[in-house]
Amino acid sequence: MAALPTGEQIGRLINRIRGARTQKEFAVALGRPGSQAQVSKWERGEVAPDPDTLVAVAQLGGMSSLAEFYEAAEAVDDDEDAPAERFIRALSVEGVVDVYGSVGVPTADLIAAVYAYAERHGFTQRQMRKLDRWRDDYRKATGESQQDATHATDTARRTADASRR
């Protein structure tokens, strides 16, 4: 008998099945309103859903059985998100400020370009939150206002949404 997938593999698959839905929307779709914190724990691999909930998650993901869900979870590639993670790590605030500040690239333009890249490459919500933290750190390092940085982010997201239509 094959080993069961790890909690982290199950969590990554749950995150992929959830897709663009919020954790709250996903919990409601599973018939578990108010379980947003539980969905978060599942996705982080801290706890596993009970078997009945896993079957419901599998069905939302187009799978017909728990065995099929486990197979899909075992197949989750740890390195699938690696390019996005490398991109985020490469965005050291100090390095970006040195490079782009020295050539006069406006902060809003840089932030818009970073978010457009992330949207085009399908960054996960977790990765987008990392970018939000990076944006806030970058804003502090450059003296950019919160409003300007948030406006640049919103503009980039609207542009990416429009290009997908």
DSSP for 2-61 reads PPPPPHHHHHHHHHHHHTTS-HHHHHHHTT-TT-HHHHHHHHTTSS---HHHHHHHHHHT
The reported pLDDT for the residue numbered 59 is: 92
Q: Please indicate, yes or no, if residue 2 is contained in any of the structural domains.
A: no
Question: Which residue in the block uniquely carries the two structure tokens 């008998």?
Answer: 1
Q: Please indicate, yes or no, if residue 43 is contained in any of the structural domains.
A: yes
Say yes or no: 30 and 89 in one domain.
Answer: no
Which residues, other chains included, contact 141 with Cβ-Cβ below 8 Å and sequence gap of 6+?
93, 94, 97
Say yes or no: 88 and 151 in one domain.
Answer: yes
Tally of domains within the chain: 2
Say yes or no: 56 and 87 in one domain.
Answer: no
Say yes or no: 91 and 68 in one domain.
Answer: no
Q: In the predicted model, what is the mean pLDDT of residues 51-71? A: 89
Whether the full predicted model's pTM is greater than 0.75, yes or no, is no
